[in-house]
Amino acid sequence: MSTLFASLLLVLLSELPLLASTEEGTAHHQSLISTIAPYINFAILVGVLVYLLRKPMKDFLAQKREAVGKMLKDSEQARDEALSRLTALQSKLDSLEADIDQIRQQAEREAQAEKERLIQEAKEDARRIVEGAEKEISNRVKLAVRELKTYVAGEAVAKAEEIIREKIKDDSHEKLIDTYLENLSKN
């Protein structure tokens, strides 16, 4: 900035001897001054603004640089954290898939064991039912045989009694009773 100001000052100083030599130079000087004056004013304004705003602008830019650096550092740190979380989640997902496979295999083994247990239990229940039915049949057959024997014996006795009554007459009957009583008294 100071080189620009120095260059403008050098241009002005080099024109001064030409302006002073002639009367035309005065008119030319007036026209030159009116042409250059806005540039000089602008240069002075820029110089003053640079001088006054240099320190605040430097501080502002330094703060911006620090803020951008901090944002970059924070974003890099956030990216690293996200990558580490992604890696952790990926490993958890991998182990979760292995756990799911293990649980599925365990469930299949348990289901197969339960199926075999139920089949064995059903076979045992069927065996008990068959045994119970066989015992029931055996008991009913025995009961039927006993009832049949009782019935047949009863019928045989009744038939024998009928036959004996027909064959034995009243006096034979008394003689038979006497013989029986005699045998009883001997014993």
Q: What is the pLDDT of residue 183?
A: 82
CB 126 within 8 A of CB 119: no
Residues 6+ apart with CB under 8 A from 47: 1, 5
Q: What is the pLDDT of residue 14?
A: 53
The share of the chain scoring above pLDDT 70, in percent, equals 80
Q: What is the pLDDT of residue 165?
A: 73
Highest mean predicted confidence (pLDDT) among 25-29, 46-50, 139-143: 139-143
Q: What is the pLDDT of residue 36?
A: 84
Looking at the whole model, is its pTM more than 0.75? no
- Segment holding 187, helix H or strand E: none
Per-residue pLDDT tens digits for 13-29 = 555 554 444 445 455 55
Count of residues in the chain? 187
Dihedral sign for Cα 168, 170, 172, 173, please. Answer: positive
Spatial separation of the C-alpha atoms in residues 64 and 71, rounded to whole Å: 10
Angle subtended at Cα 99 by Cα 96 and Cα 101, rounded to the nearest 5 degrees? 110
Report which DSSP code applies to 1: -
- When pLDDT is cut at 50, 70 and 90, the band that residue 112 belongs to is very high
In the numeric block, which tokens belong to residue 124?
């045992």
In the numeric block, which tokens belong to residue 35?
């042409």
Spatial separation of the C-alpha atoms in residues 128 and 121, rounded to whole Å: 10
Average pLDDT over residues 96-103: 88
- When pLDDT is cut at 50, 70 and 90, the band that residue 108 belongs to is very high
Q: What is the pLDDT of residue 106?
A: 94
Residues 6+ apart with CB under 8 A from 67: none
